[in-house]
Amino acid sequence: MGNELQRCFTTPHSYNALEREIEMAEALIENDGTAFPENTFEDGYIAALKFVQGRLGSNVREEYEDMVNERDSEEAA
């Protein structure tokens, strides 16, 4: 395992894409406290690392888009 920690890798995501993920997660926290109350910190940590590796899609994008759509619907009403 020691050698694995010394190898560099390239993420499939741009720096801007990672920044956007952070912004969406922060918006969810600001709005809801958390969008994933059933998950632990460790679950989120694992999901984030898998996302950076390209092994998992965005966990926050769908929740963020739902939040934005809900806000838009409330404003339109």
Q: Where are the domains of the chain?
A: 2-76
- 13 neighbors 52 (Cβ within 8 angstroms): yes
Q: How many CB atoms lie within 10 A of CB 25?
A: 21
State the chain's maximal CA–CA distance in angstroms. Answer: 58
1 compared with 31, residue with greater pLDDT: 31
* Full-model pTM: 0.79
Q: What is the pLDDT of residues 21-54, one digit of tens each?
A: 999 999 999 998 988 899 999 999 999 999 999 9
d(C-alpha 69, C-alpha 66), whole Å: 5
pLDDT of residue 4: 67
The label of the residue with tokens 């996302």 reads 51
